[in-house]
Chains A and B, each alone.
Chain A
Amino acid sequence: MIIPVRCFTCGKVIGHLWEEFTRRVASGENPGKVLDELGVRRYCCRRMFISHVDLINEVIVYGRKV
């Protein structure tokens, strides 16, 4: 839904890399290369990026109305 703060498996902090990752991939860069350059080496952390679906933008309209 929203990018996890850490990798589920090893605990590496990955949340702060998400926006740069999506921006660079959207501009046409190779996702694997971007992850290499961001220092995301292990495949447990890499799957956090390539398997993440950022559904938060669809969810935010359903806030708790007061």
Chain B
Amino acid sequence: MVGIEITEKNDTVLALVLRDIPLEFANAIRRAALEEVLTMAIDYVVFYDNTTALSDEIIAHRIAMVPLRSDLAIDKYRRPEECRGSNPPEGCYVSLYLEAETGPQEELVIYSKDLKPQEDPEVVPVYGDIPLIKLGPQQRVVLEAWARLGRGREHIKWSPATVSVLTYIPNVRVITERCNLCRLCVERCPTKAISVVNDRIVVDSTKCNLCRQCVSVCEPEAIELDWEKDRYRLLIESSGSLKPERIFLEAVLQIKTKLLEFQRSFKEVFSGVGGGS
């Protein structure tokens, strides 16, 4: 039966064990989390003044890498498909403003929290303490940054997940009758998953990374190693723009939307063949 079990969960990391979900589908969720889920990121930066040591391009790039809160924005703003062209409609962009100036003896670090939202107070940097620019004496920077929804496949700055991996769950069996307790496997194991307890080899399979070095070093061939056939572990680490559980849900929704789109175009083709309209 299809099931999901949470093995680790905090503000940025979500680890799940997916049961009876085909590998291909679990992998589709993993990929959708990286490149299909919508988030807000800064896409245009207009410089009104910049006399700092950092060039406009460096500053624009640094600002774009800052994750913006997207949990409310993804339902509020238009999708990137609707915002193309030189004249994007209303509801595509939201702007943030930055202005800073230093006196003759002054030095100043500009942080991400200094990016002030103009229209929407909900679209703000997730982490306020990222140093963006450092101003020397008598320097000035004034800029307006325009953020919009986008997908990770267009640019990684829109990707809500920094890590999204699908792994096998190891299944290590020690055949005690064959084991001669030479402990070579204990020494060899790079993740220290194998130990000896009461003259028996005990394996902590949560530490195992399936490197098979214990199998190759075991003279009497007492270790059998494979992985569970119906369970996979999915790990999502969020960049902060969305909560990891939201990333998972949105990834599934994006796959569903694509499938419905596919179904619609499929039906269109076949109604065209049959009806001729």
Contact = CB atoms under 8 A, between A and B. Distances in A.
Interface string B101-115: 000000100001000
Interface stretch (B85-93, B156-164, B199-207): B156-164
Contact of B51 (A13, A61, A66): A66
Contacts, number: 77
Interface in A10-42: 10-13, 15-16, 18-19
A13 B67 contact: yes
Residue of A61, A63, A65 with most chain B CB atoms under a 10 A cut-off? A63
A53 interface: no
Interface stretch (B22-30, B127-135, B167-175, B213-221): B127-135
B127 A15 contact: yes
Nearest to B66: A5
A16 B153 CA distance: 26
B130 A16 contact: yes
Interface residues of A, number: 24
Tell me the interface secondary structure of chain B in the complex.
loop
Interface in A37-66: 56-57, 59-66
Nearest to A12: B162
Size band of the interface chain B makes with A: 20 to 34
B49 to A, nearest CB: 9
Nearest to A20: B129
Nearest to B135: A60
Contacts of B239: 6, 11-13
A63 B139 contact: yes
A63 B52 contact: yes
A55 to B, nearest CB: 10
B195 interface: no
Interface in B101-152: 107, 112, 126-139
B260 interface: no
A62 B53 contact: yes
A15 B136 contact: no
A12 B65 contact: no
A3 B130 CA distance: 9
Contact of B129 (A19, A61, A65): A19
A60 B134 contact: yes
B162 A11 contact: yes
Interface in B23-67: 50-54, 62, 65-67
A11 B201 CA distance: 39
B109 to A, nearest CB: 9
A64 B50 contact: yes
Contacts of A57: 134
Nearest to A7: B162
B240 interface: yes
Given A15-B127, A64-B50, A64-B51, 20 more contacts: A2-B131, A3-B131, A5-B130, A6-B65, A11-B156, A12-B162, A12-B163, A13-B127, A13-B130, A16-B128, A19-B131, A57-B134, A59-B53, A60-B52, A60-B53, A60-B107, A60-B134, A61-B136, A62-B136, A63-B51
9 contacts: A2-B54, A2-B62, A5-B62, A5-B65, A6-B65, A10-B163, A13-B240, A15-B127, A64-B52
